[in-house]
């Protein structure tokens, strides 16, 4: 790969060819493996992104630093025989997000180290996000675009220096592309149910672009600015615990039309999880060319795991084989360690119990790496693969996969069934993006 595939995406978009890319925002092994296998089948470039609170210099909540995440993806790619040069690794919300309790000097020092490590590890899509207030900002006032852009330019300068170091070691290293702006809630979707979300105003979008441009040029970062390919906007999509606000291209038309003024920019849409494939297709056609999806993929994986747990229960009832109790173990671990869901879910005991299992925001995903949950999942997979699933039960709980098994498209193993349920979601994005045209 001699040229960044996302530069090719910009070129096609500006020619009027509706090509985009979906971004796998997940550190789940099943999700990444499914993405790479589907990428191989469709001859597509695959974009995988890690968030700053997920992967950082201290390990984040995954325990991985940027170079560890790179190795993690490399290992999966090797397993499925997918070439690494067809994978784009991205860093999402890179900035002071994890260090907002510190003052600007310290928070930016941490953010600078974060950006440096991502670039040095070979991540080539960098979302610079400095939209959050830090400890010595006025907590009652909105952060000005000038401050956001100044901090963003500082991090871009760090990225450029890190890339120069990387290129000295690896002459073929691709120059990273940059995404700026942040018209979204904190990573992972909205915390409250919403009736609607406001589409980004054109004047606000223009101010973001112009202010960032000035801030970059004031630091002599013309080359970095030439690699800014997208700005994050709110095109009017969001999801709550059980609701989805669907894309309405009429409401977003004024915003999407404004893209014509910029020959090298597209929009990046966050929280596109659970949109229909038609809505996703319209977004790409309207220039929202980068579609971020995270909870939607692990939600699909969790659905498959629950389906297999129900199949297991039906098969093992009255036998001596010990069931995994996967659903019960997951609930038990979530109750014992409420830190990753308590602030996000609201309601009475019954409502909270429902949301822990079935919320679209899928806080379950934070608990899948837990040792007890992993042990239960391994038992579930072993039990299913040992006993085998009667077609009648597969049809009952996983009808789409039942058809694929019957047609010989996928094997009837627990792992294949989980990955294929994730692929159902990915195929909606592949339908919308045509990303096989990127290389």
Report pLDDT for 1. Answer: 63
Burial 249-283 (b: 16+ CB within 10 A, else e): eeebeebbebbeebeebbbbbbbbbbbeeebbbbb
Give the pLDDT confidence of 257-286 residue by residue, as tens digits. Answer: 999 999 999 999 999 999 999 999 999 999
Other Cβ atoms less than 10 A from the Cβ of 172: the count is 8
Confirm if 185 and 271 have CB atoms less than 8 A apart: yes
Report pLDDT for 188. Answer: 46
Report pLDDT for 195. Answer: 59
User: What is the pTM for the complete model shown?
Assistant: 0.96
Confirm if 219 and 155 have CB atoms less than 8 A apart: no
* C-alpha distance from residue 357 to each of 4, 18, 415, 430 (Å): 40, 37, 21, 28
Residues of the chain whose pLDDT is less than 70? 1, 184-195
Report pLDDT for 184. Answer: 57
94-200-341 Cα angle (round to 5)? 50
């Amino acid at each position: 790969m001699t040229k960044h595939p996302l530069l090719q995406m910009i070129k096609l978009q500006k020619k009027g060819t509706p090509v985009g890319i979906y971004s796998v925002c997940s550190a789940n092994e099943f999700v990444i493996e499914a993405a790479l296998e589907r990428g191989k089948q469709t001859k597509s470039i695959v974009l995988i992104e890690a968030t700053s609170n997920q992967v950082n210099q201290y390990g984040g909540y995954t325990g991985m630093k940027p170079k560890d995440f790179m190795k993690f993806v490399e290992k999966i790619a090797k397993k499925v025989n997918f070439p690494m040069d067809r994978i784009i690794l991205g860093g999402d919300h890179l900035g002071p997000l994890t260090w907002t309790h510190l003052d600007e000097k310290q928070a930016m020092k941490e953010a600078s180290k974060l950006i440096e490590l991502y670039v040095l590890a070979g991540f080539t899509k960098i979302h610079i996000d400095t939209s959050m207030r830090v400890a010595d900002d006025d907590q009652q006032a909105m952060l000005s675009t000038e401050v956001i852009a100044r901090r963003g330019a500082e991090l871009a300068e760090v990225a450029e220096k890190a890339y120069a170091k990387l290129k000295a070691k690896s002459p073929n290293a691709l120059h990273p592309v940059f995404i700026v702006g942040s018209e979204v809630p904190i990573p992972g979707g909205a915390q409250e149910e919403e009736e609607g979300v406001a589409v980004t105003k054109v004047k606000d979008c223009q101010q973001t672009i112009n202010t960032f441009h000035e801030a970059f040029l004031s630091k002599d970062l013309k080359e970095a600015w030439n690699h800014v390919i997208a700005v994050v906007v709110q095109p009017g999509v969001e999801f709550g615990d059980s609701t989805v606000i669907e894309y309405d291209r009429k409401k977003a038309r004024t915003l999407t039309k404004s893209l014509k003024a910029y020959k090298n920019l597209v929009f990046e849409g966050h929280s596109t999880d659970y949109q229909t494939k038609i809505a996703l297709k319209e977004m790409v056609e309207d220039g929202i060319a980068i579609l971020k999806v995270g909870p939607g993929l692990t939600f699909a994986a969790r659905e498959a795991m629950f389906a297999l747990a129900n199949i297991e229960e039906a098969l093992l009832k009255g036998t001596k084989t010990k069931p995994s109790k996967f659903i019960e173990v997951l609930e038990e671990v979530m109750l014992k360690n409420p830190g990753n869901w308590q602030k996000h879910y609201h309601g009475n005991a019954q409502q909270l119990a429902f949301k822990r299992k079935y919320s679209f925001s899928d806080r379950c995903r934070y608990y899948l790496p837990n040792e007890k949950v992993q042990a239960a999942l391994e038992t579930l997979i072993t039990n299913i693969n040992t006993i085998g699933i009667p077609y009648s039960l597969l049809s009952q709980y996983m009808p789409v996969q039942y058809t694929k098994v019957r047609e010989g498209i996928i094997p009837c193993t627990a792992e294949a069934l989980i990955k294929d349920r994730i692929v159902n979601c990915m195929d909606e994005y592949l339908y919308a993006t045509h990303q096989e045209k990127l290389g």
